[in-house]
Structure 1
Amino acid sequence: MPIAPTPTLPGAAPTRLHGPRVALLVGALIVAVLAFQLNASLLTPAIPAMAVDLHASTGVVSQVQSLFFLSGSVLGMVVSRWSDTIGRRRALLVTMGALLAGTVLTVTASSLPLLLTGRVLQGTSSAAMTIAFLVLSEELTAKQFGVSVGVVTAVNGGLGGLDGYIGGAVTDAFGWRAVFVVILVVAVLGTLSVIAFVPRVRRSAARRMDWLGASVLGAFLVGFSQFVSEVPSRGLADPVTTIWLAVAVVAAVAFVLVERRVEQPLIAVPALRARTAWPVLMCTFLTLSGVFASTNFTVVVLSQDGREGFGLNAAMSGLLFLTPTAIAGLLTAPAAGWIAQRIGWVRSLRLATGAILVISIALAFLALDKWVTFGLLIAMGVFYLGLYQATANGLSVLNAPADAPGSLPGIHGACFGLGAGTGVALVGPAVSAGTPEGYHLALWVSVALTTAAFAAALVLRPTPNALPAGARPEGAMTA
């Protein structure tokens, strides 16, 4: 049976869940988030089989991933903010409904356009992560929230770095459509869990969705993402690249103008300009740019370089340099939220970004040593996949404007995809040179990005909800 909404009195502090209801709620959100994560991590090994079956090139079929992440950045942001209007539970059901429809379409797709349409619908599921954190912040105490954020973040890391291997094994045994069947089963379980255990979360009936602001911000996200993806192959001077850059710039200016004029903006310009908001977004964008470029691109290419690198095959490269990192993050993330709640969320973010910077510098100096790199990437898993991601996700909720709680988490979620794509675009030319100097240059670019991320963390200020336990003033999130 669905859990009834938690009643509250006007002016009273909201009642928090306790006992088994906490575990049931967290479990339901974990399954919903896992349905999104499997969409992101299981598909890559299946792309060659899709290309053969659909009579298309591998490069064209790879759009199943790029379109998923792009639509996730836009639609995830929109649905997260919309949840302030329609309620968290209803927004989660919208998210899961789009995921189910998209997954059925991908399982039955007879052509590439239908497959890509399904992937766009599946991208909506990225909102599950941010809405999950909003639900946790509204239903749990501060202590429960800290621990639960870490647990959900750990699930977002996937299946311990073995996702690609599992996706490949399922494809080899049953075909690429079977991967989507696995996703469909998890999505059904996630939907039923949301129906059964997520309360009808309190919301303000006076809020309206700023669809114009969301559309303009979506145009910026699309323009910037496409600009970043086109730069490595076309260069800055190409007309297509220039057009996408112009779209991003015009949309950014238009967004500021729109948000200053609408009665209930997607996020008020003064709130976005505050040191409690924009540094969170910049820190995640820059951290993702630097870390993803170094660990998921530069080191992976270096490890498979038979002349200047380690000469590993793709499977061994992933097993040695990606899986241990993911496992380290999976084991660390559950404790990360508890640490942030104890020492303060901003302090925890600074600790994580400082450690990431030190590890990035060490990689830039020592990446040509295979086993040193192996150890450094495990440390990166602890501080980036574990401590940083849990802290940044929680902080985007705790530092959000009170009149638009879904705004900052939604935009923050979009920064993950934007950052990863930007980092690869920036280091791609250096890595493609295939020389020791090129690899080192790429890693130093990552150092520059993580340095800027650390600077953003130093500028960041906490709201009362993000202060250490015991230091929160009356009216802040209860302990």
Structure 2
Amino acid sequence: MQLTAQRGTAAPFAALLVAVLSFSLLQTMPVPALPDLQRAFGAGPVTVSWVLSAFLLTASVATGLLGRLGDMFGRRRVLLACLAVSAAGTLLAALAGSIGVLIAARAVQGVGAATFPLAFGIVRDGFPRERVPVAIGWISSTFGIGFGVGLVLPGLIVDALSWQWIFWLMLVVILAGLVAVWAFVPDSPARAPGRLDWAGAVLLTGGLVALLLAIGQRWGLAPRLGLLAVAVVLLVVFWVVESRLAAPLIDVSLLRRRSVLTSHVTALIIGFGMYGAFTLVPLLVETPSRLGYGFDASVTGAGLFIIPMAVTMLFASPLAGRLGARVGFKVPLVAACVVGAAGFVVLAVAHDTAWPIYLANGVLGIGVGLAFSALANLVVAAVTPAQTGEATGINTIMRTIGGTFGAQIASTIVASSAGESGYTTAFWLSAAALAVAALSALAGPGGRRA
């Protein structure tokens, strides 16, 4: 049943914000604590990197699968299940006595990635139509909030307490989201009849896992090429199988719609470009100044450089919703790419002092906020309510794959270059990627709806 009064939307909307914030925190909070985890468990850098990789792999698979399950069986029900599984994984992480258990716990936590497509679907089902774009913008902006908090807070927690308290704090947020969704978010009658396509689920899972391992792990060239070949074969077979089923796991025919296809391609390129800043700026500012660049920042200090991005993202995402509702979401998406490219140009030419980095991160936050909100709204407007979960889930997967690839390429450029020049090259590459993303966004149809 649609929520028509403002008072009726406030509590469900707040509950959804807490739910999606919990996933945003899960994604980033363990990152600053990786050196402490490596020392605590006596693990090598490759092993401890699986604390991130395991989460990313599960998140990429769960986003599409559970978004589709929400379309089939009810988004509130599946969202509650996702939050419960994430809470169980977070509790296991807090109690982990070995690096293997912690990696397994992080894989379980990745199920929480489906909160974003499920929340978008709930908003579309239950909110008044005129409020949907802004609500999606606010939900998208929680990525910035969680990202900024997730980089600053863990350093303080580890210094004052221990790494376990990072997960205890996340558990509290997840449980708060679980209770709030259960208490305030009504169920929706919208359903997409069908049965679960197990063959498609296995093929998609295998293809995504192979692809993300190929681009996200620093193995030899031969294993990575082999994994890439496996990924291509599995995803091609997945496409063929899904195109022939009456009730597929993911309706691949959606990609024949220009608005959906260009949104997914643009999300892939934006992820490639934007995630370079998330990876490189902390590394740059933590570099000892005796090398001729860097700012000797601590983990907490490095997080402070990201705060302008989180703040501007918080305001840019709702703005994209309001602007898009008036002139179409193609406009804020193109603007997002142009603004983001400008931010990376500033980083490329003026990263030898602190204030341009703060300025550039603020500019990038505007670009990220506009992009995430516009992409979500473009996809939601291009599909039927019954397809919202799977369509927005795939868009999130594309952004994640692009981000994984972009972070890997950026890190490789810095590692293989002498000193500061690697950062300059990587920032120019991100600027170029966002310029290409602007062209991709321009290729999409104009107007509010497909």
Would you say the 8 A contact 1:308–1:434 is kept in 2?
Answer: no
Query: Which residue of 2 is the match for residue 388 of structure 1?
Result: 371
Query: Which residue of 1 is the match for residue 32 of structure 2?
Result: 45
Whole-Å separation in 2 of the counterparts to 1:205 and 1:387? 30
Q: CA deviation at 1:415?
A: 2.0
Query: Which residue of 2 is the match for residue 259 of structure 1?
Result: 242
Query: Which residue of 2 is the match for residue 280 of structure 1?
Result: 263
Confirm or deny that 1:311 pairs with 2:295: yes
The farther-off stretch of 88-97 and 299-308 is: 299-308
Query: Cα gap change, 1:436/1:39 in structure 2, threshold over 3 Å: closer, same or farther?
Result: closer
The farther-off stretch of 309-318 and 390-399 is: 309-318
Confirm or deny that 1:151 pairs with 2:138: yes
**Secondary structure of 1:161's match?**
helix
Would you say the 8 A contact 2:25–2:147 is kept in 1?
Answer: no
Return the match for 1:359 from 343, 347, 355.
Answer: 343
Kindly report the root-mean-square deviation, in angstroms, between the aligned alpha carbons of the 2 structures. 2.3
Return the match for 2:88 from 101, 104, 107.
Answer: 101
Whole-Å separation in 2 of the counterparts to 1:160 and 1:354? 22
Q: CA deviation at 1:464?
A: 5.9
Return the match for 1:224 from 205, 211, 223.
Answer: 211
Q: CA deviation at 1:465?
A: 3.7
Would you say the 8 A contact 1:398–1:463 is kept in 2?
Answer: no
Query: Cα gap change, 1:132/1:79 in structure 2, threshold over 3 Å: closer, same or farther?
Result: same
Q: Spell out the pairing of 1:283-362 with structure 2 (5 A cutoff).
A: 283-293=266-276, 295-305=277-287, 306=289, 307-315=291-299, 318-319=302-303, 321-362=305-346
Q: CA deviation at 1:396?
A: 2.4
Whole-Å separation in 1 of the counterparts to 2:52 and 2:303? 22
**Secondary structure of 1:26's match?**
helix
Confirm or deny that 1:204 pairs with 2:187: no
Query: Cα gap change, 1:333/1:404 in structure 2, threshold over 3 Å: closer, same or farther?
Result: closer
Q: CA deviation at 1:420?
A: 1.5
**Secondary structure of 2:258's match?**
coil
TM-score by length of 1: 0.87
Task: For residues 234-281 of structure 1, give each alpha carbon's deviation from its aligned partner in whole angstroms, at most 9, with x where no partner exists.
Answer: 45xx22112211121111211211112111123333321321212111
Query: Cα gap change, 1:171/1:455 in structure 2, threshold over 3 Å: closer, same or farther?
Result: same
The one-letter code sitting in structure 2 at the alignment partner of 1:156 is F
Query: Which residue of 1 is the match for residue 362 of structure 2?
Result: 378
Query: Cα gap change, 1:401/1:258 in structure 2, threshold over 3 Å: closer, same or farther?
Result: farther
Query: Cα gap change, 1:189/1:159 in structure 2, threshold over 3 Å: closer, same or farther?
Result: same
The one-letter code sitting in structure 2 at the alignment partner of 1:302 is L
Q: CA deviation at 1:438?
A: 2.9
Query: Which residue of 2 is the match for residue 474 of structure 1?
Result: none
Structure 1 or 2: more helix by fraction: 2
Q: CA deviation at 1:62?
A: 3.0
Would you say the 8 A contact 2:320–2:329 is kept in 1?
Answer: no
Task: For residues 45-67 of structure 1, give each alpha carbon's deviation from its aligned partner in whole angstroms, at most 9, with x where no partner exists.
Answer: 33333334434234422322221
**Secondary structure of 1:263's match?**
coil
Would you say the 8 A contact 1:229–1:425 is kept in 2?
Answer: yes
Whole-Å separation in 2 of the counterparts to 1:205 and 1:362? 47
Would you say the 8 A contact 1:266–1:404 is kept in 2?
Answer: no
Task: For residues 73-127 of structure 1, give each alpha carbon's deviation from its aligned partner in whole angstroms, at most 9, with x where no partner exists.
Answer: 1112210111111111111011012112212222222222222222111101011
Would you say the 8 A contact 2:272–2:405 is kept in 1?
Answer: yes
Query: Cα gap change, 1:19/1:371 in structure 2, threshold over 3 Å: closer, same or farther?
Result: closer
Task: For residues 439-467 of structure 1, give each alpha carbon's deviation from its aligned partner in whole angstroms, at most 9, with x where no partner exists.
Answer: 3322222133212211210111258646x
Query: Cα gap change, 1:53/1:356 in structure 2, threshold over 3 Å: closer, same or farther?
Result: closer
The one-letter code sitting in structure 2 at the alignment partner of 1:128 is T
Query: Which residue of 1 is the match for residue 225 of structure 2?
Result: 242
Query: Which residue of 2 is the match for residue 116 of structure 1?
Result: 103
Paired-residue identity, %: 28
Consecutive unaligned residues in structure 1, runs of 5 or more: 1-5, 7-14, 467-479
Would you say the 8 A contact 2:75–2:187 is kept in 1?
Answer: yes
Whole-Å separation in 2 of the counterparts to 1:53 and 1:308? 32
